[in-house]
Each structure stands twice: as structure tokens, then as C-alpha cells.
Amino acid sequence: MAARRSNPDAFGPLDEYDERVHSHRLRDDEHQRTIVQSLQDLHDMLAEYRAPEVVHPSIESLKPRSRTFLGALFHRQPPKKMTQIPSTLPKGLYMYGDVGSGKTMLMDMFYDTLPHNISSKTRVHFHSFMQDVHKRLHTMKMEHGTDLDAVSYVAADLAEKGSVLCFDEFQCTDVADAMILRSLLEALMSHGVVLVTTSNRHPDDLYKNGIQRASFIPCINLLKTRLRILNLDSTTDYRQIPRPPSGVFHHPLDKAATSHADRWFKFLGDVEKDPPHRATHQVWGRDIDVSKASGKAAMFTFHELIGRATGAADYLELMRSYDAFIVTDVPGMTHKERDWARRFITFIDAAYESHAKIVLTTAVPLFQLFMSPEEIGEALDDGRRTGSVKHAEDHEGVDDVMRQMMDDLGMNMNMLRNSNLFTGDEERFAFSRALSRLSEMGSQEWVERGLGMEHRGGLNEKEGWQRVRSRWREDSL
């Protein structure tokens, strides 16, 4: 251990945790160890991360763009330039839990063991950080006037202080904070700053009942899409096995994706009574191979399940045999992979209709699974020509996070359905339905239903749900 301590990259949060357990300063706890593994995953990614050089915007570039004569005539504002976040930016962490859940200790472990290539880092209480931000904004406005995007300039200054920014006690109680947080955090990320934060609240509960809270929702959605949300409060099922602290969908395909899939497979399967093994099922004389199975959980790579010629009959047979599916390495699918997209949508439909659980590790966010950024751009152009892109357009059946991501791109469900990228009404409908169903299948209600979680009734709840599943299996034969 001493040798590893001499190498900052080799000694990470997991080593620090093991050392504390060995010296009896901590009791080994499975749920806490899972959290520390998430810290270790990020540590390992940071060891290979090189933050881009911070480029300060000029004062002139931060002034509002002048409107054209026609724009002024019709009261149209020039389109706001989207903030570009580097694709190489490691996904940060948002750890939340009640008092006594170990937030400060976990942040200590992470911050104190950061790899040596992270030469600049900052740890600050969030309230103090925001006070500093407002002072800087005030100075900018006094010097350059109020008609200026001062947040972008201040974000560049702050980014120079550290490529890893750790917040203790992230919260939002002030309307002045609420109005700038989305643009501030996004600007920091655009300069390659990795955010790690603790909080007493889930992002959905931040600034609850605050003034103009609707304007704060984009910040909540940014946190939920750009950071891994980890629940530090342990919840267990009837077996006393802790539920994994993160949601069931993970992107991108980084180092954390593997541990994400493994944790959910261990939780949804029954590795003690039924160790992981290969399994084979038959459909109409053909073999369906499951590379890893345990209990009622099956694990595949995308190409093992979708990359070969499979169809609805194969998926229905799997649904009769398993309650949960972990599918890893799901790629983004363009028009060149339409066959994959159709099969995957068929699989999603089968899982949804059988009330099964799905865990995914994906290369791209869910709303980009079936369309590349280039195709989204083409669909946007189609939408603008046809007039289907409107700010107030409703995205029926899509959750708040996905809706906000689509809003940021000017997208809406009708626009996607009407895009010429899809061949026929049935394919357009299947695409939008798949997004809707994935949104629902990622909810806490869907994920925990039938697992026998202690707070939902334990073993009795699980047995009741198994009866519902048994009736479905009988009906599907």
C-alpha cells in the first residue's frame, strides 16, 4: 500500500476506503463501497484526462448580436449560439443524501486522491462559490454595462482555477442563483471543467417552490444529463441487498459503464444461489444464446442481441424466461443501421409489454439513439421549412429531461415523426413510442416495481408482482 501511495495515480478512493476498513476506522459496507467504486471510476478517467486550454471570450463577443432589418421588423431575436461541451469531458458526479450519509467523507476521499495530472483543482462550499460569482458579475457589469453576457466571461476565469471543481452542499435557495446556474455550469463544462458535488437533495427537489422555478428546470436537467446521480441513502430489497445508487441508463461508454452494468446485473440477478452462467433457449428450432444469466436476469452486448438476425419471437421467448435485461455497448444508430434500430425498438416493445426491467449502457443520450447529430440537424431543417419547430410544441410521452434536451436543440416529437429520415408512418410512430417507453422504463416506479424493496413491502410485494408476471406469461403462450 505504501508503494501505491507514492504513485498518486495508482492510489485512488477505493484504496483509501480499503485502508480505512483495514485500520477499523470504517466498517465495510456494500452500499458505501459501491459509491466509492463510482468515485474510483471517475478517478481512473481523470488519470487519462487532459483538459483543453481555457480560451477567454472577448468583451465584444459577449455583447448582444445586432438584429437584421427584417429581424427587427418582425421582432425576431438572432438564434442563441449553443454552448459546446467537449466530447472528451468525463461525466461528473452528483452525490446526494441525508445528514450522516457520509457526503463529506466521500468527497474527502475523492479530492485527496485526485491523480497528479490534475494540476489545478478547487473545492469550495457552494454558497461561498455563488457569492464569489455574484461579486465577479457585479464587477463586470460596473465596468462594461449590463447588456453583456458576463456569465460566460466569469466562467472562463473560474475554469482557469481548476479543471476539477468540487462543491460541498450544492443547493439553490436564491432566485438570483436560480437564474444563472444553468448557463454558468454549462459554460464551466464547455471549458473542460469536471464537476463533482454533494447535496442533501435529489436534483428534482432543488429550488422547490422557488420564485420562477420554471426557469430553473433547465439547470436540473443539465445536472441529470451531464452528471451521474448517486443516492447515498441505502435502500435494500427483501434480501437486504442494496439497490445500485444510480439510474438504469448510463452514457457514454466510459470506464464507469462496465461497473454500472455489473452492479445492476448483480442486483437484478441472484448470483449467490445461481452463479452467472451461459444459457441457451430455443425458438422454432433455433438457438438463442445468453452470454450471461443469473436468476431472472440476462446480460448481453448489443451486438449479441441485436446485431444478428433476431426478431419478435426470439424476444418474446426471452421475456418468458427473464424479468430483467442488461444490454451493454448500445451504439447510436443512423439511417445506415435502420435494421438494428427496428430490431432494438421491437425488443424495447417486448420488454415494455411484459413489464420487464431494462438496464442500458449507451454511446449517446437516449434521444440520439436512432438519429445522429447530423440527422437531427437535417430533421431540424425539415422542421423549420414545414413550420413544425415551435418553442411551445408539446413532446407528448417524453420525460422532462428528454424534453429539455430536445428543446435545447429546437426539436419536438412531431418534427421527428415528420422527418424524411423515416420511411412510412409506422416507422415514425415506432420511433417516438420507443422514446416514450424508454422514458417510463427509466423511472423509479418502473425500476423498483416487483423487486421486493423494503420500503415497498418487501417479499410480499415481490410475490404479488410475480403473480402478475405469471398471468402475462400464460397469456403470451
CB atoms within 10 A of CB 419: 22
Q: Which of 91, 111, 117 is nearest to 13 (CA)?
A: 111
Can you give the pLDDT at residue 126? 95
Confidence of residue 395 (pLDDT cuts 50, 70, 90): very low
In this predicted structure, which of 186-200, 253-267, 441-455 has the lowest mean pLDDT? 441-455
Helix axes 255-268, 30-47, angle to 10 degrees: 160
Q: Average pLDDT in the 288-309 region?
A: 92
Higher pLDDT, 474 or 43: 43
Per residue in 43-87, pLDDT tens?
999 999 999 999 888 888 887 765 555 555 555 555 455 678 998
Per residue in 310-368, pLDDT tens?
889 999 999 999 999 999 999 988 777 888 988 999 999 999 998 999 999 999 888 78
This prediction has a pTM of 0.80
Give the C-alpha separation, 217 to 203, whole Å.
Answer: 10
Cβ atoms of residues 199 and 94 within 8 Å: yes
* Grid cell digits, residue 43: 478517478
Cβ atoms of residues 90 and 46 within 8 Å: yes
Cβ atoms of residues 232 and 99 within 8 Å: no
Per residue in 145-171, pLDDT tens?
888 889 999 999 999 999 999 999 999
Confidence of residue 414 (pLDDT cuts 50, 70, 90): low
Can you give the pLDDT at residue 210? 87
Q: Is 236 exposed, middle or buried (0-12, 13-18, 19+ CB in 10 A)?
A: middle
Higher pLDDT, 77 or 245: 245
Higher pLDDT, 47 or 370: 47
Higher pLDDT, 451 or 419: 451
pLDDT beyond 90 at 300: yes
Higher pLDDT, 203 or 72: 203
Can you give the pLDDT at residue 134? 94
Amino acid symbol at 426:
E
Higher pLDDT, 397 or 241: 241
Can you give the pLDDT at residue 144? 85
Can you give the pLDDT at residue 173? 87
What percentage of the chain exceeds 90 in pLDDT? 46
Higher pLDDT, 192 or 71: 192
Cis ω before 8 (30° cut-off from 0) = no
pLDDT beyond 50 at 409: no
Can you give the pLDDT at residue 416? 55
In this predicted structure, which of 68-72, 154-158, 206-210, 467-471 has the lowest mean pLDDT? 68-72
Confidence of residue 410 (pLDDT cuts 50, 70, 90): very low
Can you give the pLDDT at residue 310? 86
Q: Average pLDDT in the 448-459 region?
A: 83
Of 372-376, 425-429, 451-455, which has the strongest mean pLDDT? 451-455
Confidence of residue 455 (pLDDT cuts 50, 70, 90): confident
The distance from CA 285 to its chain's CA centroid, rounded to whole angstroms, is 40
Of 62-71, 109-118, 412-421, which has the strongest mean pLDDT? 109-118
Give the C-alpha separation, 307 to 313, whole Å.
Answer: 16
Cβ atoms of residues 428 and 417 within 8 Å: yes
Higher pLDDT, 141 or 94: 94
Can you give the pLDDT at residue 439? 86
CB atoms within 10 A of CB 308: 11
Per residue in 419-433, pLDDT tens?
555 555 566 677 778
Q: Which of 67, 79, 85 is nearest to 384 (CA)?
A: 79
Can you give the pLDDT at residue 94? 97
Can you give the pLDDT at residue 392? 38
Confidence of residue 303 (pLDDT cuts 50, 70, 90): very high
Cβ atoms of residues 457 and 301 within 8 Å: no
Give the C-alpha separation, 461 to 458, whole Å.
Answer: 6
Give the C-alpha separation, 444 to 361, whole Å.
Answer: 17
Q: Is 92 exposed, middle or buried (0-12, 13-18, 19+ CB in 10 A)?
A: buried
Q: What is the mean pLDDT of the chain?
A: 83
In this predicted structure, which of 176-180, 207-211, 231-235, 369-373 has the lowest mean pLDDT? 369-373
pLDDT beyond 70 at 402: no
Can you give the pLDDT at residue 375? 64
Give the C-alpha separation, 45 to 256, whole Å.
Answer: 9
Can you give the pLDDT at residue 460? 85
Q: How far apart are the first and last CA of the chain?
A: 57
